[in-house]
Amino acid sequence: VQVVPFYGEHQAGITTPQQAHLVLAAYDVLTTRAGELKDLLRAWTEAAARMTQGQPLPASSSLTALPPADTGEALGLPPARLTLTFGFGPGLFRRDGVDRFGLASRRPNTLQDIPPMPREALDPAWCGGDLLIQACADDPQVAFHAVRNLTRAAAGAAAIRWMQRGFLGMPGAGGGDGGGGTAGAAAGSADRNQTPRNLFGFKDGTANRSVLTDAGLRQHVWVGPSDGPAWMRGGTYLAVRHIRMHLEVWDRTSLDDQEQTFGRRKDSGAPFGASDEFDPVDPARLPQDAHVRLARGDGSIQLLRRGYSYVAGIDPKTGLLDAGLCFLSFQRDLQRQFVPVLRRLQEQDALNEYTEHFGSAVFAIPPGTQPGSFVGEGLFG
């Protein structure tokens, strides 16, 4: 199936099996009028409802003296399971002490910037944002087209603050089965039960399996009736960390050390002391500072991770590869789930020797939308 429904109880792009490509864009809101902010969200919702279903933006005029409504580069491409997921950053509620839209009292308590952490070197240009669009698709041009056209629709009301592109190698996609078909169709036949590998060569996302059940999502991901503002029920919160991975250093590290760093085997993904990727983790068999041992803690906190690898050429300062992870996790509460896990990792994780966090952002991801309504409408109700 190449089309993911846009309308529903929850926004798409959260529990949707991961597509191969990501375009993630954070925006600063420029207007100070609540009415214009609402108009923007309504326009984004209508455009997203069309583009995710594989339709171009509708022409409002037949005048060839005007620029076309749709920029055109997705014409003829399959919908490629495009999902568009929208979020609200803390700055929408109060920025530099100013409540621009009269929304300050509606901010969820948990929606606060991640506090400073040890060992991070954050670049303000890669932090924050009032609004977020996560575009995921099995075709990179389909994902970029969506963000480009939504950015264009925002002209004057919001401007891009930072943008990251990401990708995942999808096991089973495009090859081994006789080939043929478009890239989109090939990715559509990817084996979604197989875990993709990150740029350190390890399977990444294994532990999500226990979160991706009805009970797991209710417990760890969806905002419930007792969780705070009613307008967020059925929504979730997104944590973004832009993390550079020092590939050259990693590639000079022995296989033993690589495996000790995570506490899992590189080829199979199995935890130490087990043989299958999905065998239970026995923390006692993992080094004290192994990533999996620290990330897991006592097992009570779980996150739904949905990150993508990025490669941005060469870092001109060092001549080394600028590559890493656009870490994304969805959770029901940022302060109770994400922050303590991140702190544990930043203080003790063996992985820190090979990584560097350079950006950070958090967003409230409102619940899904119904036809006739717009994303986040409940916030203004």
Residue 144 backbone dihedrals phi, psi, to 5 degrees = -70, -40
* 220 is a contact residue toward ligand HEM (CB under 6 A): no
Least Å distance between CB 289 and ligand HEM?
Answer: 13
Element housing 320 (H / E) = none
In the chain, DSSP assigns E strands to 21-29, 83-88, 131-137, 158-167, 236-245, 304-305, 308-314, 321-331, 355-365
Residue 195: is it exposed, middle or buried by C-beta count within 10 angstroms (0-12/13-18/19+)?
buried
- Each residue 255-284 as x (binds ligand HEM by CB under 6 A) or -, in order, gives -------x-x----------------x---
Least Å distance between CB 269 and ligand HEM?
Answer: 7
Q: Exactly one of 325, 334, 365, 379 binds ligand HEM (CB under 6 A); which one? A: 325
Q: Which is nearer to ligand HEM, 82 or 221 (CB)?
A: 221
* 291 is a contact residue toward ligand HEM (CB under 6 A): yes
Least Å distance between CB 27 and ligand HEM?
Answer: 23
Q: Which is nearer to ligand HEM, 89 or 205 (CB)?
A: 205
Least Å distance between CB 249 and ligand HEM?
Answer: 13
Chain CA centroid to CA 56, Å: 24
Applying CB under 6 A, which part among 13-21, 177-185, 202-210, 312-320 lies near ligand HEM? 202-210
Q: Which is nearer to ligand HEM, 221 or 351 (CB)?
A: 351
**CA-based end-to-end distance of the chain:** 35
* 310 is a contact residue toward ligand HEM (CB under 6 A): no
Least Å distance between CB 294 and ligand HEM?
Answer: 9
Element housing 250 (H / E) = helix 247-251
Reference 107, options 303, 371, 335; nearest CA is 335
Between CA 353 and CA 21 the distance in angstroms is 28
Name the DSSP class of 12: S
Is residue 87 within 8 Å of residue 108, measured between CB atoms? no
- Nearby residues of 134 by Cβ (< 8 Å), 6 or more positions away: 13, 22, 24, 83, 84, 85, 86, 87, 238, 328
Least Å distance between CB 106 and ligand HEM?
Answer: 27
* 330 is a contact residue toward ligand HEM (CB under 6 A): no
Q: Exactly one of 170, 292, 321, 362 binds ligand HEM (CB under 6 A); which one? A: 292
Q: Exactly one of 22, 186, 345, 362 binds ligand HEM (CB under 6 A); which one? A: 345
Interacting positions 130-149 with ligand HEM (CB under 6 A) = none
Burial readout 21-53 (b: 16 or more C-beta within 10 A, e: otherwise): bbbbbbbbbebeeeebbbebbeebbebbbbbbe
* 21 is a contact residue toward ligand HEM (CB under 6 A): no
* 202 is a contact residue toward ligand HEM (CB under 6 A): yes
Least Å distance between CB 56 and ligand HEM?
Answer: 37
| Length of the chain in terms of residues written | 381
Least Å distance between CB 200 and ligand HEM?
Answer: 5
Residues that bind ligand HEM (CB under 6 A): 198, 200, 202-207, 241, 243, 245, 262, 264, 281, 291-292, 295-296, 303, 324-325, 327, 341-342, 345, 351, 355
